[in-house]
Amino acid sequence: MIESEEHSFKLIQIVEGLEHPWAVTWLADGRMIVGERAGRMHVIDGGSITGLSGLPRIHADDEQRIPPEGGGQGGLLDIVAHPGNARNGWIYFTYSSPGDSDSVVTDDRFGTGTALARARVNDEGDELVDLEILYVQQPLSEPGRHYGSRIVFPGDGTVVLSIGDNGLRYTSQDLTHPAGSVIRLHEDGGAYDGNPFVGMPPGNLRPEIHSFGHRNIQGLAIDSETGAVWATDHGPAGGDLLYRVEAGNNYGWPQVAYGDEYSTGAPIGIGRSAPGVTPPNHVWDDTRAPSGLTVYQGDAFPGWQGNLFAGFLRAERVQRIVLEGDSVIHEETLLRESIGRIRDVRVGPDGFIYFLTDRSDGGLYRIEPTD
């Protein structure tokens, strides 16, 4: 039993031996879908695990050649079942794409970019069918890192996803380039007509951009009670951020930053604020590397209702974040260095909280209340 401020709980491992798992989601019938960064997707049904064929071409980085500064990072990223999955069967997923083909590759000579696709699981539960590639970031970029990427559904026929700055920095302030942005599309593809830069002069602004000035958002969650979209964004050396994402806002990167250069320790940008830049709601000054974010809405943990839960890779913990309006008024650390690097955090349909650990032999875990 593990004690926390509001609840005591137990930690249960559900699946082991996953290679750098990135995301978990639930089909309407209760089966889970888990993706591995290497470009594999699995159906978990009770004690059985079945691989899915039919994925698009995915640039999947070899773990052995990822530079120490965090380069590479490509592969299968987020997976989220459509809110109407019981009706339409769609699951949406993001990945690093080098183009169009039907096999997993590692050749990135022509650049890569974040892509969004959707598909259905066939009746046998072993293949993706009706695959549609809805969006591919253009232009493709090098050196091939900081892809983001997380997905949320506002519930109005649109889909929102994050794209990292590709390690290039300048793209986050370039409205002719989608990297370093949160983008909003119609669920069947195409830029959302209500996006803030649609039709604005000089005419080459990207219509899919919803907000900009982001570095590498790997936590994105929507509060079903308020409609607020929350994000956790990687800082460089220090300065990881939590903020509310709103249409048209500039979040500052790289001119405004809260961390330092990896190599020299020098501050990045012009400071921690600037005219026209939306400040974060919370800053973690130490390097935590946030990945995975959820808003708790469920019956299993009533004392956590409406709290944010953020996973951290480098800090190897889950953070419970208590909000009052848009302000962070309290934090509590859970599972510190107990199961390793946390890649994803989700609330399951049973009201339990699920975690994926980012390891070559990673696992899927959940916590259940003991009180």
Distance of CA 132 to the CA centre of its chain: 20
What are residue 152's phi and psi, to 5 degrees?
-140, 155
From edge to edge, which strands make up the β-sheet containing 290-295? 290-295, 308-312, 317-324, 327-334
Contact 212, 196 (CB under 8 A): no
The alpha carbons of the chain give a radius of gyration, in whole angstroms, of: 19
- Residue 4, token pair as written in the block: 């926390």
Contact 206, 189 (CB under 8 A): no
Annotated active-site positions, please?
146
Torsion of CA 323, 324, 325, 331, to 10 degrees: -20
N-term to C-term CA, the chain: 10
Which of 338, 331, 339 lies closest to 359 in space, CA to CA? 339
- Residue 19, token pair as written in the block: 């290679």
Residues counted in the chain: 371
Residue 316: C-alpha distances to residues 15, 139, 175, 328, 332 (Å): 19, 34, 34, 21, 14
Which of 130, 140, 215 lies closest to 172 in space, CA to CA? 215
Residues 6+ apart with CB under 8 A from 324: none
Which of 337, 336, 355 lies closest to 346 in space, CA to CA? 355
Query: How many Å apart are CA 157 and CA 142, to the nearest integer?
Result: 32
Handedness of CA 303, 335, 293, 34 (dihedral sign): negative
Contact 292, 218 (CB under 8 A): yes
